A and B are shown apart, each in its own frame.
Chain A
């Protein structure tokens, strides 16, 4: 009898504390949700504008998206493509791709190209799995290497030159780290191929 009562009492106390702590969290989430959503949105816009300058388009990039599934975008899962338009005409895309052959795993990249297929910018999306001090030079905070894609296209340099210098290409490797830049160069090249082959479908696909 007494043990049942003790259990009941403890159960009620636990339930009360569970309700109180959950209520405290819920209240705080409610109070900050607008600010948090704003922050997330502006961080996303900032990331996109780094590879697709805001002056090149006038639509809402975050709203004008479509997903595509193609191994050239990194894996077998749907990847998001943001479509930039200027006065309604195609102005370029930002592809959210994976470089699957990084040294420590897949590296997520944002690749911006203009309508003709010239790279407007590439950025690594943190966190990355590469070795600090070696492979992490793909990060714009660590080195300018990632800027070497700017202005490149499949026409210049031609296909064979889309490789690190060690493999006979145009892109620098890092001292002590070849795998990471090789993975990034290959992934960007593949995404450009995909864009070239699917250009019309990319802009025509309905936004969600």
Chain B
């Protein structure tokens, strides 16, 4: 395993990160930011992007340092690496995305304690070369981001009756007009969706949805594995 090829293929890393081992829907890691900043699409996107960068950066550093770190002290070293990666991202945000920082500022340091980040350092980056570790960090981060944005979208849509509000915080003044009101201007709002219990509720729906898709997939594979009945008039749909 000393060569630059990972123990598992890049394809597997990507599938794991985005779907099969998704940080939120499968591992249920990092629920703290999920509850705190999934009230709107823009907050979810901002927090998700910050997490992607922290994960890629910390995984890369951990991977580079893995040969030098004895097993007994690996956790404090990983935590130090993660904390400094998070602080770096925080300062970069303060310098280049200040408005977004004002919204998410107090949650950024929490990335340090996002179990997901330490989890990837321990279970992947400490055993794999640089490039696969970075890809793993980015993919796990993107999987996290996707759920955060989806959840933010659901809560914003039902809670406030808008989608993509305040995107200018992230993309500059031109994004001010991106906001849409699918239910019209008179939407009364749905407080439950905005408050933290709403985050739990909609997260539950997302996890259920993912499991449903997985279940269907499995059924279909099972059906494919058993030989087709001769008399069936099934139309062949795949090439």
Residues on A lying within 8 angstroms of B by beta carbon are 6, 9-10, 13-14, 17-18, 21-22, 24-25, 28-29, 32, 35-36, 39-40, 43, 126-127, 131-134, 141
Contact = CB atoms under 8 A, between A and B. Distances in A.
Nearest to B84: A21
A139 B94 CA distance: 23
B91 A13 contact: no
Contacts of A132: 39, 159, 191, 194-195
A36 B95 CA distance: 5
Contact of A133 (B83, B159, B166): B159
Contact of A43 (B81, B83, B102, B166): B102
Contacts of A17: 65, 69, 77, 80-81
A32 B94 CA distance: 8
Interface in B14-54: 39
Contacts of A24: 84, 88
Nearest to A16: B68
6 contacts: A29-B91, A35-B95, A36-B98, A126-B102, A133-B194, A141-B166
B68 A13 contact: yes
10 shortest interchain CB distances as A-B pairs = A21-B84, A32-B95, A39-B98, A35-B95, A133-B191, A36-B94, A132-B194, A10-B73, A21-B80, A28-B88
Nearest to B89: A28
Interface string B82-125: 01100110011011101100100010000000000000000000
Contacts of A14: 73, 76-77
A89 to B, nearest CB: 34
B189 interface: yes
Nearest to B69: A13
Nearest to A142: B160
A10 B71 CA distance: 10
A25 B92 contact: no
Contacts of A9: 70
A10 B70 contact: yes
A9 B39 CA distance: 47
Contacts of A40: 98
B92 A134 contact: no
A174 B160 CA distance: 16
Nearest to A34: B95
A13 B96 CA distance: 34
A178 to B, nearest CB: 17
A32 B91 contact: yes
B84 to A, nearest CB: 4
Contacts of A43: 98-99, 102
A164 B77 CA distance: 57
B72 interface: yes
Contacts of A18: 80
Given A14-B77, A17-B81, A43-B98, A28 B91 contact: yes
